[in-house]
Homo-oligomer: A and B are copies of this chain.
Amino acid sequence: MQEIMPGIEPEKRDRILNAAIEEFATFPYEKASTNHIVAKAGISKGLLFHYFGSKQELYEQLVGFVIEKMYRSIMDRIDWNESDLFERLKQIALIKMEVQQAYPHLFDFLLKVISNQHLAKAAEMIEFYKGYGLDFAQVSQDIYTRNVDYGKFRDPATTREAVNIVRWSLEKYGEELLAQMSSDTPLDLAQAAVSMNHYMDILKQSFYKPSLEQEGHAV
């Protein structure tokens, strides 16, 4: 749980981290090349091994960094008092996009780590982090249960399906926005929030009970 690469200039640190994250997100552990990483980060081979000692240690520190980053991004920004599920899922989607902007391949990498496509060591580490309260399974359960008002839904019999549809829509929409970006302007999060609100309004009308004054949404 100690700081990664302490005392280095943050700009260079992020360059190295992003290069490594991208490499490990793109290739399985064995095919990920330290040569590629140093080339992409614009540093010498020696420096990388000066910081991390070995490829394996680099990978492990990276896993730690990514888990903590993702966990803190969620925990620091989610408003657990917000009882509207649509708003909460929108918050998640926006957080995800924000992280993706600073570390474009962080999520891909994290997915690979969690689904155990890399070293068996990764599973150990995830278990280890649970001891510190960083439990993604728990978080993703909390998102749908903690302080959520399911009474707003029109039909209890189809609430489960409605929640899935909302989740799928937000995920796919986020993916498509991120895919569009790349060479474009670096992604307007405010704009994304607006159009997500638009979709959420449509879905609320479909799945929530009708009400004379429509639920207001905070931007």
A residues near B (Cβ < 8 Å) are 26-28, 31, 158, 161-162, 164-165, 167-169, 171-173, 198-199, 202-203, 206-207
Contacts and interface: CB of A to CB of B under 8 A. Distances in A.
A207 B26 CA distance: 40
A162 B31 contact: no
A158 B205 CA distance: 12
- Secondary structure type dominating chain A contacts: helix
A30 to B, nearest CB: 11
Contact of A202 (B26, B161, B173, B202): B161
B206 A161 contact: no
A202 B162 contact: yes
A197 to B, nearest CB: 12
Nearest to A168: B172
Contacts of A173: 164, 168
Contacts of A165: 165, 169, 199, 202-203
Q: 10 tightest CB-CB pairs across the interface, nearest first?
A: A206-B206, A168-B172, A168-B169, A165-B169, A168-B168, A161-B202, A158-B202, A172-B172, A31-B31, A161-B199
